[in-house]
Amino acid sequence: MAAHDLELVGLVVATGDRHAFGQLVERYQTLVRAMLTRMTGNHALADDLAQEAFIKAYRKIGTFTGKGSFKSWLCKIAYTEFLQSLRKRKAAAAAMERYKAHQDMEERSAKWDSGDAMDLDRALAELSEVERTVIVLCFSSGMSHSEAAEVTGLPLGTVKSHINRGKAKMRALLETKEAVQV
């Protein structure tokens, strides 16, 4: 029988049980890596950020109060790692944004692969950071809007607005891609 998150956290806090923390890692590593991969668009960077997030979670596990889920607490740590990485890569990201801004829709559509996953990832890349983040948290990582608000620190209404705007942008991008292919 699998132990609940709170039981495992209690074991880690009380005894430093690395095996219990290992069970938490096994339980959530796929979720965290997938979330970070969608946010960064880079598997290697996502793996590095996930590793850092789990190390920080182990070091800070005593600060987990049990308010909210362990999953959202862990995802908040991973999201913070993502934001720190983003700040470090700010110059490169700004250059990439300028490059993308100068491309027109036809050039981007012509480069798109026919695979649905590639289309989705490219559509996600066209969203603002906050839109991409909340969409990944809610749809890829299976979080509720409330959990996404907790992870990002944004008000619930703002999260919902970003999700609606992001979905509309993605829908338009994917419809444009389909029209170009026809």
Tens digit of each residue's pLDDT (9 = 90 or more) over 78-90: 999 999 988 877 7
Long-range Cβ contacts of 54-58 (<8 Å, 24+ apart): 54/25, 54/29, 56/81, 57/24, 58/12, 58/21
Degrees, nearest 5: CA angle 114-36-89: 100
Provide CATH 1.10.10.10 ranges for the chain: 104-182
CATH class of the structural domain 104-182: mainly alpha
pLDDT at residue 92 tops 70: no
The answer to whether 69 touches 5, Cβ cutoff 8 Å, is yes
At 99, which helix (H) or strand (E)? helix 90-102
What is d(CA 24, CA 134) in angstroms, rounded to the nearest whole number?
A: 23
pLDDT at residue 180 tops 60: no
pLDDT value of position 158: 95
pTM for the model stands at 0.62
Q: Which amino acid is at 100?
A: K
User: Which CATH number describes the domain made up of 1-102?
Assistant: 1.10.1740.10
pLDDT at residue 50 tops 50: yes
pLDDT at residue 105 tops 50: no
Provide CATH 1.10.1740.10 ranges for the chain: 1-102
